[in-house]
Amino acid sequence: MDIVKLTIDDKTLVVEKGTTLLEAAKTIGINIPSLCYMKLEDLNFENKPGGCRVCVVEVEGRRNLAPACKTVCEEGMKVQTHTVRVVNARRTVMELILSDHPAECLTCAKSGECDLQSVAQKLGIREIHYQGEQSHYKSDKSPAIIRDMDKCIMCRRCETVCNEVQTVGVLSAINRGFEAVVAPAFEMDLDHSTCTYCGQCVAVCPTGALTERDYTWKVIEALVDPTKTVVVQTAPAVRAALGESFGMEPGTLVTGKMVTALRKLGFDYVFDTDFAADLTIMEEGAEILDRLSKHLSGDKEVKLPILTSCCPGWVNFLEHNFADMKDIPSTAKSPQQMFGAIAKSYFAQKLGIKREDMVVVSVMPCLAKKYECTREEFSVNGDPDVNMSISTRELAQLIRNANLDFKQLADEDFDNPMGASTGASVIFGTTGGVIEAAVRTAYELYTKNELKKVDFEELRGMEGIRQATVDFDGLPINIGIAHGLGNARKLLEDIKAGKSTFHAIEIMACPGGCIGGGGQPYHHGNVEVLKKRQKAIYREDAGKAIRKSHENPFIIKLYEEFLGAPLSNLSHELLHTHYFDRKKKIEI
Amino acid sequence: MASVKIPDTKVEELKAICQKFRNDGSELINVLHGAQELFGYLPPEVQEIVADELNVSLAHVYGVVTFYSFFSMLPKGKHPISICMGTACYVRGAEKVLDEFKKLLKVKVGETTPDGKYSLSCLRCVGACGLAPVVTIGERVYGRVAAGDVKKILGEY
């Protein structure tokens, strides 16, 4: 390893060659303020256009100040990070950026989480000495994401994540100079573009330029409507991240407090999407075995590998870019939609109410779920199975609105029957979890033997593409896992080229899976936060009494009382779907 | 994919331009130059074909098209008029010349006259600063143009 020696603020240090000043300074505890820069270690995301110039430092012997995010350490370099000249330059840069930024902090959705705001505070900006024209763009309100480009500071993080990590390619900087803005082609709205609503642009946006479509008020309206029975479901990744919104350590599990909070908010039934995840495994597992046994008996028509279908961002990606492969994913609906379909049939019947009188709210780590629940095929006579989906952040906002002291809440349990779940369903929240859950069930159904060790370490981790072979008592099952749509694209292209040797593949649109979803509390570029959430998910799984979906007693009961068996006619009607060719037409 | 309104033969010519540059995404600007030469401008359908052929995102193509003032998404007039707004031309009165063109043609910069005869645009330095202010119409270059000359120049077309 080549190394270089330099001094930063009179401290001598040795770093690997190629390290930037920003990273080098961090190793000795100096956090140089930065704005456009963001790096997500291990997730193939590094945005350093060197555009904002907030991170400038003084390098001895150089006439101009150097941006620390783009300047590589050199032997013998002498760097000062907070001279008067540096501080003044940073303040000037910030004032210029702020001179073209709406001063709407008090009512901005991003207030308190805004990187621009925190840098302005850090630099103590109290007055903006530059007045001039402000840029204005049309606002764009898709069902999931709102673009308010007046608040954009052209850091290009969204563009980098959309193009390089997700390979969705919807966003690009367009026009030049004062007119420049990040937008889809022909400045069309997101819902006319091939946007998957994965929400990763929102997850990295430093300001309020990209935010989620907020449905909290709609939830409150439903809660105060005496004619409605309001049912809530919470996705597995929410409980591993919600605590962060209340200052708790990342990776703190807050399942019980979350349930209590939801009950106090006034939901009539607090249920768990995990229940529906177990149901997904029943259906998807049966489908995997069905396709596999057909394949083994020589059926050439059967489609393999089978792809998981829980992730709506990924389903959108497939429909936009690989529509010719739309018969490959499992036809099983996502847990969110399975929950809605069962709540408004089985559970509504149990309560003796009409489905129209039930409102199903989902709490998701995801923004694509907001779009998914509006899809036409997921409604009956115009009544959606899931009425609205809010993000983890929106739930935190509802809890704050209600003035609940979240940290002090007691732990309570979910309601039955749709609150019971297994460890298998919890791990849906992280990359590799869905396929591990499916393997736990498929193994026992296929071999008729008990699975002694339920932990499949080989399927876990953070690498973008992982593969493992699981032994089904002599039958090797090849499994692929991809998270992040760029990684998914690679596996899909292999399938297209006939090179794929996998039997089953799990795909999650967001890096890390749902724990890194676009609706989670902001990570501000710290990947450790995602890793801690992942650990929490596996901890919750390990602590569950039942860890295989097919052993969930309420799932067994649901099949006995209502559905019959996996892949039955009623199961097909309620729990399965199909995919569409959605190659977008240009609409300007 | 947008319904392609451009004739098939032109589509093939466009694809041939892409192939000339090995369908290489890093040759996007060269391909767009060729495409604009072929069509006179770069309508959405053309950009879509280029994006598909070079395997780059449509947003990226559009970003490049809107960044460079040479590229246009509007059809050019039969006689495209460009007024140089480079420093030398500007200080020697290019803006007055531009205003005169706008007044006589009744169009704004970037527009084409309704009869399709003239289109008006600005550019930055044609490398003939000694002749400032410079106006080009099609391939022809006019030097030391004054506002008073504009009517006469238009009269040539």
Domain CATH code at residue A276: 3.40.50.1780
3-state secondary structure A483-525: ECHHHHHHHHHHHHCCCCCCCEEEEECCCCHHHHCCCCCCCCC
Model pLDDT for residues A523-552, shown as the tens digit of each residue: 999 999 999 999 999 999 999 999 999 999
> Does residue A583 sit within a domain?
no
Size of interface A-B (CB pairs under 8 A): 47
A82 with A142, same domain: the answer is no
CATH architecture of structural domain B79-155: 3-Layer(aba) Sandwich (3.40)
The interface predicted TM-score of the complex, written ipTM, equals 0.90
DSSP state of A229: E
A190 with A234, same domain: the answer is no
Structure tokens given for A58: 């003084």
Distance from CA of A193 to the nearest CA of B (A): 10
A301 with A346, same domain: the answer is yes
Estimate the share of chain B in helix, then strand, then coil, as percent rounded to the nearest 5. 50, 10, 40
Cα Rg, chain B, nearest whole Å: 17
Do the Cβ atoms of A185 and B67 come within 8 Å?
Answer: no
Q: What is the mean pLDDT of residues A457-483?
A: 94
Q: Structural domain of residue A337, as residue ranges?
A: 217-575
A186: CATH: 3.30.70.20
> Does residue A582 sit within a domain?
no
The Cβ of residue B41 has, within 10 Å, a number of other Cβ atoms equal to: 17
For residue A572, pLDDT over 60 is answered with yes
A306 with A187, same domain: the answer is no
Residue numbers of chain B with a pLDDT score lower than 70: 1-4
> Does residue A580 sit within a domain?
no
A188 with A253, same domain: the answer is no
Provide DSSP, B132-144. Answer: -S-EEETTEEE-S
Number of domains comprising chain A = 3
Set of chain A residues whose Cβ sits within 8 Å of the Cβ of B44: 185-186, 586, 588
A393 with A327, same domain: the answer is yes
As a whole number of angstroms, the distance between CA B83 and CA A545 comes to: 78
B87 touches chain A (CB under 8 A): no
Q: What is the mean pLDDT of residues A57-85?
A: 97
Q: Which candidate from B3, B44, B59 shows the least CB-CB separation from A172?
A: B59
B47 touches chain A (CB under 8 A): yes
Model pLDDT for residues A176-231, shown as the tens digit of each residue: 889 999 999 999 999 999 999 999 999 999 999 999 999 999 999 999 999 999 99
The Cβ of residue A453 has, within 10 Å, a number of other Cβ atoms equal to: 7
> Does residue A585 sit within a domain?
no
Alpha helix (H) ranges present in A266-377? 273-296, 312-321, 335-342, 348-351, 368-372
User: Could you give phi then psi for residue A96, rounded to 5 degrees?
Assistant: -65, -40
Integer angstrom CA distances of residue A540 from A427, A431, A536 = 8, 15, 6
Strand partners, B79: B118
> Does residue A65 sit within a domain?
yes
DSSP state of A113: S
Place of tokens 């649901």: A558
Last residue of a domain, one of A158, A184, A213: A213
As a whole number of angstroms, the distance between CA A187 and CA A184 comes to: 5
Do the Cβ atoms of B67 and A588 come within 8 Å?
Answer: no
Look at residue B123 and give its three-state secondary structure.
Answer: strand
Distance from CA of A162 to the nearest CA of B (A): 11
CB B108 within 8 A of CB B67: no
A53 with A69, same domain: the answer is yes
Share of chain A above pLDDT 70, in %: 99
Last residue of a domain, one of A213, A228, A259: A213
B43 touches chain A (CB under 8 A): no
Which residues of A are the active-site residues?
284, 287, 310, 330, 369, 372, 377, 514
Question: Residue A463 carries which side chain, given as an amino acid letter?
Answer: E
Nearest to A161 by CA among A518, A490, A583, A465: A518
Q: What is the pLDDT of residue A585?
A: 60
Last residue of a domain, one of A174, A196, A213: A213
Distance from CA of B1 to the nearest CA of A (A): 5
A159 with A54, same domain: the answer is no
- Taking only residues 51 to 70 of chain B, the set having a beta carbon closer than 8 angstroms to any beta carbon of chain A reads 56-63, 66-67
A112 with A222, same domain: the answer is no
Q: What is the pLDDT of residue B1?
A: 43
Look at residue B118 and give its three-state secondary structure.
Answer: strand
- Confidence band of A586 (pLDDT split at 50, 70, 90): low
Q: Which candidate from A163, A175, A583 shows the least CB-CB separation from B1?
A: A583
Do the Cβ atoms of B57 and A586 come within 8 Å?
Answer: no
A249 with A319, same domain: the answer is yes
A332 with A461, same domain: the answer is yes
Looking at every residue in chain A, the average pLDDT score rounds to 96
Q: Which residue of A lies nearest to B3 if distances are taken between CA atoms?
A: A585
Identify residues of A whose CB sits under 8 angstroms from chain B CBs.
Answer: 163, 169-176, 183-186, 193, 583, 585-586, 588
Integer angstrom CA distances of residue B62 from A160, A186, B22, B32 = 16, 7, 20, 11
Residues 6+ apart with CB under 8 A from A569: none
Do the Cβ atoms of B62 and A173 come within 8 Å?
Answer: no
Residues 6+ apart with CB under 8 A from B83: B89, B94, B97, B98, B101, B120, B121, B122, B123, B133, B134, B135
Q: What is the mean pLDDT of residues A298-315?
A: 94
A330 with A185, same domain: the answer is no
For residue A580, pLDDT over 60 is answered with yes
